[in-house]
Amino acid sequence: MEIKILGGGCANCRALEAMAREAVAALGIEATVEEVTDYAAIASFGVMRTPALVIDGTVFLSGRVPQRDEVRRIIQGISG
Amino acid sequence: MSVAERTATRAALRPWGWAALAMAAWASLFAANELVWDRLFFDLLGWEGRVGSAVHFFLYDTGKILLLLTAVVFAAAVLRSFVSPERTRALLGGRREGLGNLAAAGLGVATPFCSCSAVPLFIGFVSAGVPLGITFSFLIASPMVNEVAVVLLWGTFGWRVAVAYLGFGLVIAVVAGWVVGRLGLERWVEPFVYQVQAAAAAEGERPSWGERFAIGRAEVRTILGRVWPFLIAAIAVGAAIHGWVPEDFFVRYAGPGNPFAVPVAVLLGIPLYSNAAGVIPLIEALAAKGLALGTVLAFTMAVVALSLPEMILLRRVLRPRLLGTFVGVVALGILGVGYLFNAIF
């Protein structure tokens, strides 16, 4: 699984990244977590509000920092 | 009605029940705030001296402003959950200047985004064919007409000032965006912006009322969590000014008669980055000591609309000349509003 956190490095983006890493560790799944800060790359996902959570090329969240278990549920749902 | 239907109806109504309860609790707290402090200080303690009046001001104002903020931030977040930048962009694409600027300024007020999203929004709008000037009207209106500022102005200076702030904020956004558009500055946008192949964003799911209220609660937590130290500090300084600075202090130095008061207020406001919550309790005390209202308003607008961190972010997509033009046009607009206000009120 390829998890990307889109954002210009603001506090909200770091919070979302930490949540994603935590969820991956807690669920014990194989996944890479990567931060995308290049604005052209962010725009190429069609995202206009940061932070955004992208998993395997699909945007799941944008413009808000979700609840902890929401991130876990999303990741769990995809890993099957 | 089947059992399943009845359960579904009850689940749909539950958030409204909580909302009604919360509203009643809020109204009683708001009514109690003034009553309790007045009774305590003036009737029970008889504490009416300088210190007493400063402490009374601090406690009463803290309560009032926190309550007002909670209500407005919540309401604004719920209303904004109906608007998304994707829909806004679709509405603005291919608009003509003039009316397009007006629509952009209005939507800028209604569309939720934080200043760290200014750059992705700019790229998303411009690369989708929204004209530069219209994009600027949107980007200026959003921080300028800030719901926190409107409420605080209403609570401290009355509805006339709040409405004037809102109206003039929109006028500046419309006119400044229109001017930037007319100047034809597209070549001062960093070229990569026009090469971005922006993907069409998927339309988000429609949240239920329960989810909208949850968004509102989360927003209240975030905003209050962030601003309360500034708010308390500003009210404390305000209380000190209230108690100790002589009545006519600012009339003498920065009253309506001083032509330099407004530009100095704007220049001071640009590098100061604070939210309205940190500024308005302070200026309330300043205005009470004779600082002219237009000067106060210009300072507020400069602080919330022009912030150094946002400019540093925007530098990634705007060349210095365009960034400078943008700041200059907005600052001039604020200056004009300040003078106009001082002349009217």
Active site residue A55: no
Compute the mean pLDDT over every residue in chain B, rounded to the nearest whole number. 80
CA atoms in the 13 A half-sphere facing the CB of B145? 29
Which pairs with CB-CB distance under 8 Å and at least 24 residues apart come from B6-13? B11/B210, B12/B208, B12/B209, B12/B210
Stretch among B16-20, B44-48, B131-135, B295-299 having the lowest mean pLDDT = B44-48
Domain total of chain A:
1
Nearest CA to B221 out of A35, A24, A67, A14 is that of A67
- Residue A24 belongs to domain with CATH number: 3.40.30.10
Active site residue A10: yes
pLDDT in tens, B334-343: 999 889 888 8
Nearest CA to B151 out of B288, B282, B277, B25 is that of B277
What ipTM was predicted for this assembly? 0.81
Q: Are the Cβ atoms of B195 and A63 closer than 8 angstroms?
A: no
Tell me the CA distances in angstroms from B266 to A36, B56, B150, B314, one per residue in order.
36, 31, 19, 20
pLDDT in tens, B173-216: 999 999 998 988 888 888 888 877 666 655 555 778 888 888 88
pLDDT in tens, B46-84: 776 777 777 888 888 888 888 888 888 888 888 878 877
Q: Percent of chain B beyond pLDDT 70?
A: 88
Report the pLDDT value the prediction gives residue B187, as an integer from 0 to 100: 87
How far is it, in rounded angstroms, from Cα B229 to Cα B32? 24
How far is it, in rounded angstroms, from Cα B228 to Cα B221? 11
Q: In chain A, which residue's Cα lies nearest the Cα of B119?
A: A39
Domain range enclosing A30: 2-79
For residue B313, list chain A residues with Cβ-Cβ distance below 8 A.
Answer: 8
Supply the DSSP symbol for B345: -
Residue B220 host element (H or E): helix B209-244
Report the pLDDT value the prediction gives residue B81, as an integer from 0 to 100: 80
Note the pTM of the prediction, 2 decimals.
0.76
Residues of B with CB under 8 A from a CB of A: 85-86, 89, 112-114, 116-117, 119-121, 123-125, 127, 192, 195-202, 215, 218, 313, 316-317
The answer on pLDDT for B112 being more than 80 is no
State the CB neighbour count (10 A cutoff) for residue B171. Answer: 15
Dihedral, CA atoms, B166, B167, B168, B174, nearest 10 degrees?
110
Nearest CA to A60 out of A10, A20, A24 is that of A20
Sequence-distant (6+) residues with CB within 8 A of B140 are: B105, B108, B172, B173, B176, B177, B305, B330
**What are residue B238's phi and psi, to 5 degrees?**
-60, -40
Residue B36 pLDDT grade (very low, low, confident, very high; cuts 50, 70, 90) = confident
pLDDT in tens, B245-296: 665 666 666 666 677 778 887 877 776 666 666 677 677 777 777 778 888 8
Domain boundaries, chain B: 3-80, 91-199+229-344
- Sign for the CA dihedral angle at B316, B138, B273, B298 comes to positive
